[in-house]
Structure 1
Amino acid sequence: MKALRVFTWLTITLLLLITLTIAGLLYYMTNNLPDVSTLRNVQLQEPLRIYSADDKLIAEIGNKRRIPVSLAQIPKDLINAILATEDHRFYQHNGVDIKGLARAVIGLVTTGEKRQGGSTVTMQVARNFFLSRKKTYLRKFNEILLAFKIEHELTKNEILSLYLNKIYLGQRAYGVGAAAKIYYGKSVGELNLAEMAMIAGLPQAPSAINPIYNPKAAKNAAAMF
């Protein structure tokens, strides 16, 4: 009986120490995260555009092509298609999709490989604006904490707008506005359903399946919709 009491006491003490350590780590990391309120006034990088005297575009200077658009300017069908592939529960979760994250963890445990999956739109906003793209467990943990903070600070539509204007879509296009112009020479509001389907498939592998680099792969990705 004495041995059992000692074992029980040691077990409780160990669990308490682990709990306190995790709580302390969470407190430290949470208080050292970037200020997500800056996302309300973020200035998205645009290329320098040179126009002629009659207001025709002559050239664009810069590595990134971006045409910022409001959420109201983006067709609903395009938004729905992108959410269907990237985060179909976007309007239901609070920044982290526990089900999706659990699937990613199970995949890691069963295969031993890090695979895509588990990252919500909010987590991608956290990564794209505040974190590096280097795949580490610490970055993923920071990504989760930042996602909760972002959801607390911004509305769903504000988060979605940031995502759709920031996401890389191949051919130096950042955001759906630039993708529409580069691939089809149109504004995003002028896209037809087939063109929207193609753009919606790009976030999965923008460099490999865009219609300029690989038309066949782009067509196959668009066919999913």
Structure 2
Amino acid sequence: MDRASLARKLHRHLASSPPPESRPSEYGLHPQFFPLSHAALSFLHGGISPTRVSPPEITKKERQPPPHPPNPYPGLPGDATDAEHDLYGTNGPLWYRGWALDDEHVVCREVDAVLEKTGTRRLIMGHTPTFDRMVSRCDGKIILIDTGISSAYGGVLSALDIKYSLIPIDDSVQSAPGTRAPASAKAEKYLEQEIIQAIYPGKRDVFVSHEREIAGHAL
């Protein structure tokens, strides 16, 4: 199966599948059946605060303020909701800096809970520039990519390179002890490969180089 066909197949499967907690009990929650449930990457400007995981409910605003700059920053409209103030606050996803500025032992203790709740593998963020390099924390679970490449900041030119492959390697797999596959499911094996690296003029810095064999059931 070529990559395009595999991508379409996975997209159809994921798009039609309910979240793990609502799926039939015969699937269980064993990663054998849902090994990609937390394979996504989170991209945000600021970051998802450990105390503010749920997305705020935002109401649509018909009136837009004049662009800033050159006009003065008008702030939020007078009738903005608490959720909108929360979104634009220092603890919201646009401005939160904790993943960049808090101590290593603090962020590494807190990040797993956020990854679990958001169904993601890594948090990738900008907003807090380091100017000379990108930063990987907690074994690549947190990646900070803002190096201030704008001429206004004069930071190093950089780009984040993400290579992800999911390669079929077998058409059958044994069920894990204590679990059973649904009779209608077809067992499949894949080789998952993930390489994430920072690219700078003349050099690269590898943050993640990961490979594993996974098994699941295509419905």
**TM-score, normalised relative to structure 2:** 0.23
Instruction: Name the structure where strand makes up a greater proportion of residues.
Output: 2
**Which of 1 and 2 has greater Rg?**
1
Instruction: Name the structure where helix makes up a greater proportion of residues.
Output: 1
**TM-score, normalised relative to structure 1:** 0.22
